[in-house]
Each structure stands twice: as C-alpha cells, then as structure tokens.
Amino acid sequence: METDIDVVMGTLSPYLDRLDAILRHGHSVYETYSPEITLDHDASTQAHCTNRHALAEAHRVLDGLPNIRHIELRGQNLWLIETANTVLRFKKTDEDGVSSNYPTSQAQAFDLGDEIPGLPQQPTRVTAGYLLDATGLGYMRSQISLPTNRGAMWCAAIIPVATREADEAAWYEVTRQSRML
C-alpha cells in the first residue's frame, strides 16, 4: 500500500475534478431541501442525505469509466481505481480528513487495511470527503485523506477547477502538524 501523499495524489490527479464535483453535488442537492424539512435534521441525518446524493452522482460519473470498478460490500460503497491501485469511499470528514460518524465494522476494516473481498492485495485506501464550516451549512472544501486506525495519516484539499490557475496543482496538503510534547 502506497502512503506517500505526493505519489497517491499524483495517481489520483486525473480523477480529482470528478471527485470534487461528486462531493459538491451531494451538498448542493441537500441545500435544495426546504427549511421545513431540514429543521428536523441533526448533523448525522444531514451527512447521510448528502452522502446518498454523492453516491448516486458517483455512480453516474464513475461507473463505466475505464479502469474504475464499483464494489459494494455489506452496504459499504467503494470504488477501485485499478490504474492507481487505490480504493476510495465517500464520507463527511473533519478538517483532518477523518470521518466524523460512528465507525461501522466495515469502516474500521477499511481504515485498518483488513482484507476486503474483491480488492487486489494492498490497495491504497483513501477517503474522498467534504468539510463544512462551523455552522454545518457552508461548503469549505473537498478533500482526500489516507485513513488509519488513529485518524488520518495525511489530508489534501482539492482545488476546484473553476478557481485553479492554469499551471496550478489540483491539490495542496492540509495535514495539521501535531505538537511534540
């Protein structure tokens, strides 16, 4: 499994604009819900609804692309990008790229690198996530992170194609540095 941020993000670069669009789509659809409906939603419900819209968009955008294969394993939706030997999942994440919901056994297996039927040996596992502002309403960024059993090894923000300079990279690292005690 590759863990170097430059290598992983380099192999994912051809897909970053699509992944950003998928994540933004999920949030955009949720924003169209009427306030009378969202009033009853807690953060978990909002994340679930947004994720369902992102997953539907991921099927529309990614399924049928060469070298990308969707795998559903006990309710967990994964996309294997064969040319990058990378498998990804879509989740709401915090600023460190860590999924903020209670982890299921499937999510824990994904994070720990446990064997998952249908995947090649030792694929890089990443989370394609989105970060909302403190209000839970404003979309801050789409990001890719490398999960571990203790959080994320690193996190990279995707620069939207509409705001990116012609020669600018499609991503930048946003991993927070922890203080040494």
pLDDT digits (tens, 9 = 90+) for 127-167: 999 999 998 889 999 999 999 878 899 999 999 999 999 88
Closest CA to 154 of 122, 176, 129, 178: 176
pTM: 0.91
Residue 74 Ramachandran class (φ > 0 left, ψ -120 to 50 alpha, else beta): left
Domain extent at residue 74:
5-173
Task: Tell me how many domains the chain contains.
Answer: 1
Assigned domain for 89 exists: yes
Assigned domain for 178 exists: no
Assigned domain for 36 exists: yes
pLDDT digits (tens, 9 = 90+) for 26-73: 999 999 999 999 999 999 999 999 999 999 999 999 999 999 999 988
Phi, psi dihedrals of residue 44, rounded to the nearest 5°: -65, -45
Q: Please tell me the distance from the alpha carbon of residue 19 to that of residue 54, in angstroms, as a whole number.
A: 9
Q: Please tell me the distance from the alpha carbon of residue 164 to that of residue 52, in angstroms, as a whole number.
A: 28
